[in-house]
Structure formats: C-alpha cells, structure tokens
Structure 1
C-alpha cells in the first residue's frame, strides 16, 4: 500500500482528450481502492487535495462530485466528505488484466498459457495496432480458469521487432520473459515494466463460441459468449491488443459509469 506522501508525489497525467476532472477522479478512486484513504475515513479538504495534486479547487470539486455519484464517497453536511464504508467493485471500466476483473468474484482464478508464437500480421492486428500489413506480431493465447473450470480465452497480440521497441524499449525487452509467466501478458508486462500502458478502449460484442474455441471452454459450438476486444496504448500509440472470449459461466461483469457533466 503506498503512503499518502508517495501517492500525492505522483503528478496527475491525462490521456489525449481526457478532462482533468476525470484524471483527478481516477487518482482519488485509486487511492480509495489502495487504502491510501481507508474505508470510512475523512477525505482531505478540497483546498488540501487541490494543493497536493497540483490542480484547482474547482477541478477537485468536480472530481469529488463524480466520486459521490459513483458511490465511492459520501458527504456529511457540516462535517465533510468521507470514503464510503463499502465501495463498488471495479469492473471493465479500468484498464487492467482480465484475470483481475474475474478475481473480484468468488473463486480462485488461474491463467494457463497454451501458445506463444510469432505470426504474420492480419487485418485485425494491423488495423488495431496501426502497423503495416506485412509486419510480424507476437501472439499469446491463454485459458482463464476459475476453480479449475475454463471460463475465458485471452488472445493477446503485440507488434514484433522495431514496431514494438520504437514504442517502448522496456516492453520489447521484457516480452519474452513475461510470456513464461502464469499470467496474461498485460499482467506480466505491467509487473515488470510498471504502469506504462495509458488509456485503453474495450469493445464488447456478443457471439457464439465456435468449434475450436468451444473445445477449449468445454462449450458446444453454438453456445453464446461475450467477446471483449481491448487496445492499450503507450504514450498515445497502440501497443497491446487482446481479444477475450468469455463464457456465460463467468456470471456478472460490471462497468462503473461516471457522469460526463
């Protein structure tokens, strides 16, 4: 758990097009989830938060309003703002490894890698990663199991060679070792390189599992699945692409929505 001094020492950064109030919202929410601000504790005043984070009181007030709308904090009139006694679970709205999203539910989640190879680029990878059609990509496929039962397939892609090293030498140097971990590449690379990945986009569609993927998930070919396509960027450049095929055994997946006002 980071100390308050360490927490406030990190500068606020925003992704392209992201309002500053949203970045402050995310930072305070991170502090709540990491217990920098314990459940039920009083938050610093608006002026104190603004000074510590290097933003205006107005930005802090807007961020606090969003936090209260999402159930992370409560206001006690005449007293101040407090962290809620019980906060909502993080869902798919944050860029994080899919096994962490599943771990919020009951049961033990494990990752079983089954393949790590270099492939030629496809229309899917070249379009999402912004690379030439003739470029090579690394492909990693894993099965996510909960209490020993397969519940999702995670297919991860990163550009190979200079396409990746030009974006991040650290990612390029760490990839081979990360691929040996019993974790998704997103989790293994973040563990080795720190929070290099900035913003991300997750698209959600419904489909059927098909014969090949159905065998991996112990499903019939026509069984329905959710398909999550996730792209993560480093300094605004797409560096990581994943497709998660999610069985109905997963149960509920939440998305916590903040007001855009």
Structure 2
C-alpha cells in the first residue's frame, strides 16, 4: 500500500486535480513555476512537490527536465478487439469529441482505392477529412473514403459532430462489422504539424484501415494520423496451443 500523503498534501493534490479537470490549465500546457503554484495553494514547496508527484503517478501531469511540469494530453487508446469510431472511443472515456471538416467531396476513386474497395475503376467515392479533438485539444486528423453507392448523400451531410460509423448505420443501414487495421510511425509534414500543433518532423502514429460489413464487403478506407503523445494501441496477444 502507498503511504498516506497526509491531509495537507492530499488537499493540495485535490485542488490541483480539480483545476486540471476544470481546464484551468489546458492539456499540453506548462504549469506555473513551483514558487508561484505553492503561493497560489498556500502550501510549502515541499508539500507542493509531493502533490505534483501524486499527480504524475496517476498520469495527470508529466515532468520535463529543466522546464517544469506539463499537463498531460488526453491519450486515446484502442480497446483490445473492440471496433469503435473515434467519437465512440472518446465518449466511452468520458471525453468530448470534436471535429472540424477540412474536406468533404464526391469524386472518382483512384485505381488503388477501387482495388482495395473492390469496386469498378472510376467508381464514385466520398472523401471526408476531419481534424479531430478531445475536450477541445486537437489530437489527430482522419481521412475516410467511402463507397458512394453505399451512402449516396454522405457528401451533403454535416459530419462535424457525428460519428461516421453511426451515421452510416443510422442514415444508410450500413453496419461496419470488421476492420483490417495497421499502425506505423511517421514524421509530421508541415501541414500536419500546423494542424496538430507540432514541430515539423515530430513523430506521429498513422493508422490505416479497411472496414467491412457483415458480408465481408469493403465499405470504406480510413487513414488516421495521431500525435505521438495522444495515442496508444493495446492488444491481447496469445501463443498458439501446441
């Protein structure tokens, strides 16, 4: 068991944790210096450091050598073997998903897209590109390419605050049952860095998927690019029985 931090440390911890929950200090921002923070809380710097250490243990803040304490960014984790949209994952963790539409258009599929979606060359697809956020903080961009014949009016719908999976099911009766998903690390280019508030060349994690309906027919292609500090992939791994 962890030792009791004592009432003064516990109170400082509680007040800081409440400030983080209320967004007094934004995700990714640096906390005030220890002297100022201790003065605001009315505690000694020794007490403050114990409270900060407790917040670091639960992942609320992180230390940066010589630069102080930073509020942790919300981390999106893929639950093992569960297929969820970004919005569904966010809501399941008590977070508020947001989106800004960067591009939404009806166009002709490329040869590669037509092949992966198993449609005829020059078939029509709907492309939706969005900047996604958690509690107002941008964490990823996603580009989704949907077979237009499966969702004829998708290009005209407002998808700002809607889950694409849920929209496909509710508006078009298309249920996503399975996704072939792969993740790899890349470096952010200038455009992506600007959108995600990163330095050009910063690490990002890229998830590519092909999503299928219950009959195994491809419905959409997806490419999601996460900040490296905002995404964790989890999986249960099993050894084959001999």
Please indicate, yes or no, whether the TM-score normalized by the shorter chain is above 0.5.
yes
TM-score (normalised: structure 1): 0.54
TM-score (normalised: structure 2): 0.58
2:161 aligns with 182
The counterpart of 2:204, out of the listed 219, 225, 249, is 225
Matches of 1:97 and 1:134, distance apart in 2:
28
* Match status 1:244 vs 2:224: yes
Q: Is contact 2:209-2:223 (8 Å) kept?
A: yes
1:255 aligns with 235
Query: How far is 1:126 from its partner?
Result: 2.2
Deviations 1:170-196, CA, capped at 9 Å, x for gaps: x42462465445124223223434562
- Structure with higher strand content: 2
Q: Which runs of 5+ in 2 are unaligned?
A: 1-76
* Match status 1:110 vs 2:98: yes
Aligned length: 164
Pair 1:177–1:226, CA change in 2 (3 A): same
Matches of 1:177 and 1:240, distance apart in 2:
17
Matches of 2:104 and 2:80, distance apart in 1:
25
Would you identify which runs of 4 or more consecutive aligned residues in structure 1 move more than 6 Å? none
* Match status 1:122 vs 2:110: yes
Matches of 1:177 and 1:134, distance apart in 2:
20
C-alpha RMSD of the superposition? 2.7
Which structure has the greater CA radius of gyration?
A: 2
Matches of 2:203 and 2:78, distance apart in 1:
25
1:167 aligns with none
The counterpart of 1:207, out of the listed 186, 190, 204, is 186
Deviations 1:121-175, CA, capped at 9 Å, x for gaps: 2244223212334333210011111121110111100123xxx2xxxxxx42462
Q: Which runs of 5+ in 1 are unaligned?
A: 1-88, 165-170
